[in-house]
Chain A
Amino acid sequence: MNVLFATLTLVTFFPVLGVLVLLFVPNEQKDTIRWTAVITSVITFILSLVMLAQFNPADPGMQLVIRAPWINIGSTWNIDFHMGIDGASLLLVLLTTFLTPIAIFSSWTAIGERVKEYMIFFLLLEVGMVGVFVSLDLFLFYVFWEFSLVPMYFLIGIWGGQNRMYAAIKFFLYTMAGSILMLLAILWLGTNVGTFSYTDMLGKVPAAAQGLLFVAFAAAFAIKVPVWPLHSWLPDAHVEAPTAGSVILAGVLLKLGTYGFLRFNLGLFPEAARQYAPAIAVLAVIGIIYGAIVSYPQKDVKKLVAYSSVSHLGFVMLGLFALNAQGIQGAVLQMINHGLSTGALFLIVGMIYERRHTRELAQFGGLWKVMPLYGTLTLIVTLSSMGLPGLNGFVGEFAILLGAWGAGGAGGSYGSVLYAAFASLGVILAAVYMLWMFQRMFLGKVENSANEGLKDLNWREVTVLVPLLIVIFWIGLYPAPFFHLMAPSVGKLVSALQAASVALR
């Protein structure tokens, strides 16, 4: 099969075509640049829909696999260009290709300087992100993982806020610190198991070695997610990044970490996953509650949403390490949900920032009277982020809590239902800070005169929010197709985990 035109190669590398075209467009023709970038990312989305059509939901293994020899020297190097998807990574690729055109479209008027470089970095970032989700070779995975740092660093550092350079270098160094430990683990695996290919390695990692390897991989992923207490780069990066950068950072980049946990920590090191599950659950629950409590007093609304990400992804971690079907499926769905809801929240913050050039909650108030459509859409997104039944957040949180509760029983990975109990507290706290944010921004009288003449959403802003809202409602009301897609692969993972837990006993 021709690797060059295989579906996964096209979905991953199509944005590079856009970059090449952009290199030849003169800097002054900003609108041409913007349209080229948007069209490229929309075509990538359509290609990912083709990928969806080619996917067989009943097959639990890796599909659309391409494998071509890359660095094969003698018997010591066996690195292949190896890609494939299963249910979970399919959903994440769709999330990436769905959010990127929306993020690019939302930067239409927000970015006026050096538009060409901006779009080029955005498209390169998309290549890196999709590449991470589809790589089945550890070396290739690492290449895409590290590569995705570079465009994000530039996006924050050049088009960001006041303190952007500090935030950019902090983001870069913090994330790279975890990755280098993962590099050592990958090298060890490649040398001692004899291959760098994920599928070849499954089940072959000796249990004794799994502990340290688990920690090394977890270091990289925990910083990315971010798991408390490794989260301090996140508020800075989010606040200083340009709006579209925050959307992609929260929407997709954080999922690289949770995906890494799912694919590698759970997949390659099942025994170690079982051993470390309670420890991770503790960190997850602390993250849920800490993120929520710290969100509440934030004065900057973007920082509020950033801390809420820590809280939401704590739920995802709790679900993943429940090591049962509901927990993991709920976690994967919540990854998608968080991408949509928090992405939408950042878009919303960006919209008010473009009008008022401030993000301080104290500066707002009574906005619903001035911008009713904006208020309505924000309310829906807020409720979704909170986990109101009928919207997407509830489905994911419910499944996760179900899984965590189940893991608290006999034979479960947590051994105590306290984790689920404390996590449920997080649901209440989410309602507190989300509704408090909404109240301070939209309800009450218009105190600040600067808010009086604000224009409601224009057609472009509505266009970026509506697709997100459609999917939010879809997942909230009819999540079955999403679960259907990931069930077989998650089931396969869960069986492997249960086999490992039996072996441990």
Chain B
Amino acid sequence: MTTSDFNAILPVLVLTSWACVLLLVDLWIPKDRKAITAWLAAAGLATTLAVVWLLSGFNLSGFGGMVTLDGFSRFVSAVVLVAGIVVVVIAPGYLNQRHIERGEFYILLLFTISGAMLMASASDLVIVFLALELLSIPLYVLAGFARPRAESEESALKYFLLGAFATGFFVYGVALTYGATASTNFQQIAAAVAAGKASLLLLSGGAALILVGLGFKVAAVPFHMWTPDVYEGAPTVVTAFMSVGAKVGGFAALLRVFFIAFPALSADWAPTIAVIAALTMTLGNVVAIAQSSIKRMLAYSSIAHAGYILMAVVAGGTGARSQFAAGSALFYLLAYGIMNLGAWAVVIALEKQDGTTNPIDDFAGLGAARPGLAIAMTLFMLSLTGLPPTVGFIGKFYVFRAAIDAGYMWLALIGVVTSLVSAFYYLRVVMVMWMKPGEGPVALPRSLGWVVGVMAVATLVLGVVPAPLMAAAGRALLSLFASA
């Protein structure tokens, strides 16, 4: 293993080693003091974040071109690490309340995060598969963490079965691609296609199956069926991470695979992904209206937002200027992460201990009982709708612009119309909070308060001064093409 190899996977290496050591250390931590494990896990995430930061400016390739460290992987890693830190901060209180606090939670989370980071650094389909499994399997376990509750175990089983199935599709796609191009390395695949040596029929089949596998991960229609049930059944802190971290990892792999390995096929996959994006936005937003449980509503909203990001993916397949526009996918992932984590944090704050349904009506009277929390939730709902001056608006603006740049005006039109539809169900939450009378004050643990506060401020500030982050996202995506 050369230095270059070592450095290329350094962040993943640091985090995985930390997780392994923590697994051992956890044995000596008494059952009632598992918060220590949480702190250690957070320290590990912070250290990894520092390592990512220190590696700025490096463009490395390792293990014979299987792994790449570039601006793109650093950006995505940073997003997932921050999401992880937020979840680790919230988790101890939540798990403790429900008597499911075990040290393994944090370790599994660390493994999942390292899987997501590896997804962003992969330049070989086999590594994508490896990272996909590293990302997914701990998540299956985490989904079933609230053991006595049947919903949790059911959601874990559903996730596992459907996920394994989707991974099967993915592997079959890798096999077909290998059959078509005699390689699983992204650059070599693209070179084989360019040299005309690839069987396009096999390759298209492979690309399509890979799309199915990754589409499952990011909850695109028609691979989204697992999302509402799994999000609703899993412990809410796990759901919060799934909706951000797993999606980011999935999209990172999607972007890498389709922009580096299959750019020549873009005339085929761009329209296909466009149709998938349109279906995803429409279904996610329309079905969310019918939901009375806040967790299911946010699950469908998560599906819808995946649709918006897919719009940006479509843009990247159509030329140089729209490649910069495809940076909007990264920006939107970050924006979505911020507002979504904030929203889930509020849901966690309001979740009744024995609650299994989380009805939206639980939010009634929050405006009077805890105005700060209600204002933050209002901000998150408005941001998810895409109203200025929030980061959600900037994200949507950027994504719609990408679609228009790429010539997909009809897709942008569907995007804005579905945003309008989404206003209905997001505003319903706002309405219930401010305009319906409710019960007394809600207990708010300090860690949750901090998380909600930071996310709310970020939503507003990034909505007013988004330029630095937008530029960073655009650059990160361009580095993807540069290192290809």
A residues lining the B interface (CB < 8 Å): 70-74, 76-77, 114, 117, 139, 142-144, 146-147, 149-150, 153-154, 157-158, 164-165, 168-169, 172-173, 176-177, 180-181, 183-184, 187-188, 190-191
Q: Note all chain B residues with C-beta closer than 8 A to A146.
A: 387-388, 393
Supposing A150-B387, A157-B434, A158-B435 touch, asked if A183 and B416 sit within 8 A by C-beta, the answer is yes
What per-residue 1/0 map shows which CB atoms of B216-243 lie under 8 Å from chain A? 0000000000000000000000000000
Looking at chain A's contact residues, is the secondary structure mostly helix, strand, loop, or mixed? helix
Q: Which of B371-388 contact A (CB under 8 A)?
A: 371, 382, 387-388
Within the complex, the shortest CB–CB distance from B118 to chain A, in Å, comes to 30
Q: Note all chain A residues with C-beta closer than 8 A to B431.
A: 157, 165, 168-169
B201 CB within 8 Å of chain A: no
B259 CB within 8 Å of chain A: no
Within the complex, the shortest CB–CB distance from B428 to chain A, in Å, comes to 8
Q: Tell whether, in the assembled complex, residue A73 and residue B424 are in contact, meaning their CB atoms are under 8 Å apart.
A: no
C-alpha gap A142/B470 in the complex (Å): 19
Q: Note all chain B residues with C-beta closer than 8 A to A150.
A: 382, 387
C-alpha gap A291/B404 in the complex (Å): 39
Contact of A173 among B405, B409, B423, B474 (CB under 8 A): B423
Supposing A71-B467, A143-B389, A149-B387 touch, asked if A180 and B435 sit within 8 A by C-beta, the answer is no
In the complex, the number of residue pairs spanning A and B with C-beta atoms less than 8 Å apart equals 82
Q: Which of B448-484 contact A (CB under 8 A)?
A: 466-467, 470-471, 474
Q: Tell whether, in the assembled complex, residue B324 and residue A76 are in contact, meaning their CB atoms are under 8 Å apart.
A: yes
Q: Note all chain A residues with C-beta closer than 8 A to B371.
A: 117
Q: Note all chain B residues with C-beta closer than 8 A to A143.
A: 388-389, 393
C-alpha gap A439/B420 in the complex (Å): 44
5 further contact pairs, Cβ within 8 A, besides A76-B325, A142-B388, A146-B393? A73-B474, A146-B388, A147-B388, A176-B423, A187-B400
B397 CB within 8 Å of chain A: yes
C-alpha gap A147/B387 in the complex (Å): 7
Q: Tell whether, in the assembled complex, residue B393 and residue A187 are in contact, meaning their CB atoms are under 8 Å apart.
A: no
Supposing A76-B321, A146-B393, A157-B435 touch, asked if A183 and B420 sit within 8 A by C-beta, the answer is no
20 interchain pairs (CB within 8 A)? A74-B324, A74-B471, A76-B325, A114-B368, A117-B371, A143-B389, A143-B393, A146-B387, A147-B388, A150-B387, A157-B431, A157-B435, A158-B434, A158-B435, A172-B423, A173-B423, A176-B423, A180-B417, A183-B416, A187-B400
C-alpha gap A184/B401 in the complex (Å): 8
Q: Note all chain A residues with C-beta closer than 8 A to B434.
A: 154, 157-158
Within the complex, the shortest CB–CB distance from B482 to chain A, in Å, comes to 15
B413 CB within 8 Å of chain A: yes
Q: Tell whether, in the assembled complex, residue B467 and residue A73 are in contact, meaning their CB atoms are under 8 Å apart.
A: yes
Q: Note all chain B residues with C-beta closer than 8 A to A73.
A: 467, 470-471, 474
B419 CB within 8 Å of chain A: yes
Q: Tell whether, in the assembled complex, residue B420 and residue A177 are in contact, meaning their CB atoms are under 8 Å apart.
A: yes
C-alpha gap A168/B409 in the complex (Å): 31
Q: Tell whether, in the assembled complex, residue B413 and residue A184 are in contact, meaning their CB atoms are under 8 Å apart.
A: yes
Q: Tell whether, in the assembled complex, residue B423 and residue A187 are in contact, meaning their CB atoms are under 8 Å apart.
A: no
Within the complex, the shortest CB–CB distance from B473 to chain A, in Å, comes to 10
Supposing A74-B324, A77-B470, A147-B388 touch, asked if A191 and B404 sit within 8 A by C-beta, the answer is yes
Supposing A74-B474, A77-B470, A172-B427 touch, asked if A165 and B387 sit within 8 A by C-beta, the answer is no
C-alpha gap A105/B467 in the complex (Å): 40
C-alpha gap A158/B419 in the complex (Å): 24
Residue of chain B at shortest CB distance from A144:
B388
Supposing A74-B324, A146-B388, A165-B431 touch, asked if A190 and B416 sit within 8 A by C-beta, the answer is no
Q: Which of B404-437 contact A (CB under 8 A)?
A: 404-405, 409, 412-413, 416-417, 419-420, 423-424, 427, 431, 434-435
